[in-house]
A and B are shown apart, each in its own frame.
Chain A
Amino acid sequence: AQRVTQPEKLLSVFKGAPVELKCNYSYSGSPELFWYVQYSRQRLQLLLRHISRESIKGFTADLNKGETSFHLKKPFAQEEDSAMYYCALTGTSYGKLTFGQGTILTVHP
């Protein structure tokens, strides 16, 4: 069975501070990992895919297969980063995303 765990429901940082949102997964094969962001209960927007290895809005995430983690990082948080962040994975049944419980990030001025 595939599972995604985001251990922190809430995360607060100050503007300019580094931020790391944790994500651990369990999956027997080779999953594809994603980060989605949701602002104020709006639609989910794709932030990152692990296979594209890009940096969006200053965020990066590295897949660590040994630790089965896909933590999201940003060196200097901005107030506009305040949102709900979801880590998700898909396996062989492409498109069936399994989401973590989400982490609410609040960046204080």
Chain B
Amino acid sequence: DSGVTQTPKHLITATGQRVTLRCSPRSGDLSVYWYQQSLDQGLQFLIQYYNGEERAKGNILERFSAQQFPDLHSELNLSSLELGDSALYFCASSSSSGNTIYFGEGSWLTVV
């Protein structure tokens, strides 16, 4: 157990809908990262937050947004969903020194 928890584990939704994925980082970790894993694109970095503020942005679509709350948990919001958004979404966290990144078990999103 890495200590990073993600909910829900599985989610099936229809095209055009909006979903929210939630992540609780390891206790004490200030940084949260979101990654998307799909068959065609592999593992792609989406976005990083550090202590509530956006730190780095990757290949995140405009239809997607994220935030990190004062209690350090994070949410990834995916809207106007398309079939191609079906993927495994990982959250990861690291401490302020950032020397090791720990991944959660992921949220499986299926868009039908």
Chain A interface (Cβ within 8 Å of chain B)?
36, 41-46, 49, 86, 93-102
A93 to B101, CA, bound (A): 13
Q: Which residues of A contact B85 (CB under 8 A)?
A: none
A86 to B42, CA, bound (A): 10
B105 CB within 8 Å of chain A: yes
Q: Which residues of B contact A93 (CB under 8 A)?
A: 48, 55-56
B interface residues, how many (CB within 8 angstroms): 26
Main secondary structure of the interface of B (DSSP, over half): strand
A49 to B48, CA, bound (A): 21
Q: Which residues of B contact A94 (CB under 8 A)?
A: 98
A70 to B100, CA, bound (A): 18
- Looking across the interface, which residue of chain A has its beta carbon closest to that of B43? A99
Q: Is the Cβ of B103 less than 8 Å from the Cβ of A101?
A: no
Subset of 8 A-B contacts with CB under 8 Å: A43-B2, A44-B92, A46-B101, A93-B48, A95-B56, A97-B45, A97-B101, A99-B44
User: Which B13-42 residues have a C-beta within 8 angstroms of A?
Assistant: 31, 33, 35, 42
Q: Is the Cβ of A46 less than 8 Å from the Cβ of B48?
A: no
A21 to B100, CA, bound (A): 22
Given A95-B33, A96-B33, verify A43-B48 contact (CB < 8 Å): no
What's the minimum C-beta distance from B55 to chain A, rounded to whole angstroms?
8
- Apart from A42-B105, A49-B99, A95-B94, list 20 A-B contacts with CB within 8 A: A41-B88, A42-B106, A43-B90, A43-B103, A44-B43, A44-B103, A46-B100, A46-B101, A49-B100, A86-B43, A93-B55, A93-B56, A95-B31, A95-B56, A95-B98, A95-B101, A96-B45, A97-B35, A98-B45, A102-B43
